[in-house]
Structure 1
């Protein structure tokens, strides 16, 4: 019965893989980087690219060019190639009706995250949308969660995280916050369970029970 529900964005609120991966493939092509296999691409969905990409592109030297090309493609329209998962809006509405506070905590840079949440038609549900900075000032999910807590003056003991990747679980845990697993997202098989997400929901509708909401 936590007062504050903190949601991840990519793979939790919306299926953003089409826009992200199209922009990333473009960035690889213009920087002469070999394409990735589908499983590796999936593993990239969620964590910050400036930490996950270097081992895959031959080190740090190509990272500035890849990130610049990615952000150009993503910011010029790819960011809006995303769709809210079925049932998400109903869960958010039930949470609001029950007096809960809602926030987004994403590793995506906040200048992208805010308009994306607006594009999805979900911005009215959230008290704040927190993300990384473009210069990597909030390089971990724990730092983003901490920023959200500070903005809202929230007590971590009265919050719960909802996310689809292990870094959501670990980032929340650094603040003593439990994490409900979004099993419909981009987590690899067994990832959420191994990280300690509990419970793990197979569909957004299952959050109604997991979070103690009234549908």
Structure 2
């Protein structure tokens, strides 16, 4: 079905009052900005670069955790590697990223339905704001929730970030009920963080999850396009 036809064929409003979106791999395709930036940062500090599969797995989780756990960066070098990566990402990576096909229209349609739409990402909150603004998406979201600027103090994965978003929009859920919130993401930690907060999670297959990752994590549904996502959100799980 063509995109315009689907938008016209789904006049029913979303059944969810609060819809939380992950950022990289869900709303925005980093287009190699993250994996390429990590590779460049590691090389600049004379550190080995993991293979492509490992680099892809580093998109989504907290960068500090990925560098120590997947890239085996020595603890004394972590802050230096992160600073090098962030400088390159701000300079060029933000502008290499692109919204996934149809996702902006999907978010706009949900907002037009009356849903509160927000972002919940592991990316540092200030950087998420920069990325959304650069991609001309910021106006679509009621709020943005992410990791603290000092990434080394971020703990708890996605769970506290989703909790912060739920608390920020508690008045909406008090009226509609907590079951009226849903998380949208592309990795297992999105599913786990949502479920830890009593919220269902819809996985998107266009991101960075390995085959079967979302299903194994217990995603309540997995969709393959922005059009299908809108249809599921309007029809319920």
**TM-score calculated relative to the size of structure 2:** 0.85
Q: Residue 222 of structure 2 is aligned with which of 181, 200, 207?
A: 200
- Residues 7 and 103 of structure 1 are in contact (CA less than 8 Å); yes or no, is this contact kept in structure 2? yes
Match of residue 95 from structure 1: 110
1:58 and 1:101 map into 2 onto residues whose CA distance is: 39
Cα offsets for 1:156-212 (capped at 9, x unmatched): 432000000000000111110000011111101100000011210011110121101
Match of residue 32 from structure 1: 46
- Residues 182 and 200 of structure 1 are in contact (CA less than 8 Å); yes or no, is this contact kept in structure 2? yes
Q: Which has the larger radius of gyration?
A: 2
Question: Structure 2 unaligned runs (5+)?
Answer: 1-14
**TM-score calculated relative to the size of structure 1:** 0.94
SS of the equivalent of 2:145 reads strand
Q: Residue 88 of structure 2 is aligned with which of 51, 63, 73?
A: 73
Does 1:44 find its partner at 2:61?
no
Match of residue 25 from structure 2: 11
Match of residue 148 from structure 1: 165
1:129-140 correspondence to structure 2 within 5 Å: 129-136=144-151, 137-139=153-155, 140=157
Structure with the largest fraction of helix: 2
Question: Structure 1 unaligned runs (5+)?
Answer: none
- Residues 20 and 79 of structure 1 are in contact (CA less than 8 Å); yes or no, is this contact kept in structure 2? no
SS of the equivalent of 1:211 reads helix
